Amino acid sequence: MGILLGRQTRVLVQGLTGREGSFHAQQMIAYGTKVVAGVTPGKGGGTHLEVPIFDTVAGAVAATGAEASCIFVPAAFAGDAICEAAEAGVPLIVCITEGIPTADMIRACAYVKARGARLVGPNCPGLLTVGEAKMGIIPPQIAKPGVVGMVSRSGTLTYEAADLLSRAGLGLTTIVGIGGDPVLGTRFADVLPLFEADPATRAIVLIGEIGGTDEEAAAALVPQLSKPVVGFVGGRSAPEGKRMGHAGAIVSGNLGTAASKVAALEAVGVAVPLTLAEIPGCVAKALG
């Protein structure tokens, strides 16, 4: 069992019958994930990929005991899909959808919190518990089992870094893609204590980028951890006021700069290499 997801976790997929949902649910099942239900309003009673389909999340949970939901619903409806999952008592919700309006996410985050659920995402690649299960779109071939827990705001940088760590023989435990939006269900500071408590994880790699202050908030937690943290911050060369692809990757005035994040991390002893290629070396060195 990883920090959030294991091979026994009963997963439902909201939007299973859609193009993206269908493709990635298939990959999730192929990796060994226990996908027990799909939800598509209007298609309840049928099956897709040999998985039973329900009209509502509540119906799916009642019939299958699903305890986690992976959301591939279009942006206009995804905020409400998150709320529906929380309302149905699903404790772990992973939302892959990109492009959800911020107002919808402010509401959804508050809604999820009030019901004691955990949301990962949106606009994220999801979760991979290496060798066990995945929720989302992380290509599993990039990660071999090992000792590093990774948490990241970027999909492809995660794949790149995980691949390097796997090739270096260090391998990974759990990868958490927290997403590239300004308002996220789970932030770095929420994930660090989970890795700290995970016996299989010996080191943590945190991949941040410009925008917001979540890396700085994470740095404030590092002194409380016994495990070494290695960081990376994307967007050192990004101009002020320009959105660099991710909705959340923007420097506003002097807020959210790479320099501020690197300084905060280095001040608490986190190595922040300039290139991804140096990450495995930094991890190996930190592990002694």
Between residues 63 and 277, which has the closer beta carbon with respect to another protein? 277
Between residues 101 and 171, which has the closer beta carbon with respect to another protein? 101
* 24 catalytically annotated: no
Shortest distance in whole angstroms from residue 139 CB to another protein: 4
Shortest distance in whole angstroms from residue 228 CB to another protein: 22
Between residues 55 and 163, which has the closer beta carbon with respect to another protein? 163
Shortest distance in whole angstroms from residue 250 CB to another protein: 10
Q: Which residues bind another protein (CB under 8 A)?
A: 75-76, 99-103, 106-107, 109-110, 114, 125, 137-139, 141-142, 152-160, 163, 180, 182-183, 207, 209-214, 217, 234-239, 242-249, 253-254, 274-277
Shortest distance in whole angstroms from residue 254 CB to another protein: 8
**110: its two tokens:** 């508050």
Between residues 66 and 247, which has the closer beta carbon with respect to another protein? 247
| Among 15, 23, 154, 127, residue whose Cα is nearest residue 71 | 15
Between residues 146 and 211, which has the closer beta carbon with respect to another protein? 211
Shortest distance in whole angstroms from residue 170 CB to another protein: 18
Check 5, 246, 262, 270 and give the catalytic one: 246
Q: Which residues are identified as catalytic?
A: 246
